Amino acid sequence: MPLQGSHILGPENGTLSVRTGRTGAAAKAGHDLLIDVTSWKATLDVGEDPARTSVALEADAASLRVREGKGGMQGLDEDDKTSIRQTIDGEVLKGIGIEFRSTRVQVDADGARLHVQGELTLVGNTHPIAFDLRIDGERMLSASAVVKQSDWGIKPYSTLFGALKVADEVEVTLDAGPL
């Protein structure tokens, strides 16, 4: 496999982000959010034996920052973004660190795709999750996973007496490199 060794990734050479959607009778009033995780570290250890490959990630739950909000009755201003950050910190993730550790990584024959299985810890609850990690010809890495918040004991944020809710499933994406 061409990428043998330990590769460290973080905000200096990549982007870790979360995309949310909205549901409920008043969904038109809300925004689909793109949220950047600004403090994180991922390690990809690629062994000579592909079976010894591992992936780990740690993220500061208090480092999530709204990059953009689409839709809604009006645009998001800085006060809105600050309020959303405070809600994420205080009510959703509660400032508790986020961790992922692979339990199994299968490498495709060409080394361009890794099938990753592991355990994700959110708000102190750990559950299995699986995703594919892709490495392109320029050694850029990308991955995407859907996280159903309620599986980790997170009640999706709602307002207007439940008429506007953040969708239970959020998409987490990682783009980084080159390795």
- CATH second-level architecture of 5-176? Beta Barrel (2.40)
* 134 in Cβ contact with 143 (< 8 Å): yes
pLDDT value of position 2: 55
Residues of the chain with pLDDT under 70: 1-2
Q: Answer whether 32's CB lies under 8 Å from 171's CB.
A: no
What does the pLDDT read at residue 162?
A: 84
pTM confidence score: 0.92
- Give residue 36's pLDDT: 98
CA–centroid distance for 48 within its chain: 28
pLDDT tens, position by position, 137-157:
899 999 999 999 999 999 999
Domain ranges for the chain? 5-176
The pLDDT value given to residue 50? 77
Q: Is 137 left (phi over 0), alpha (psi -120 to 50) or beta?
A: alpha
Nearest to 111 by CA among 131, 129, 130, 133: 133
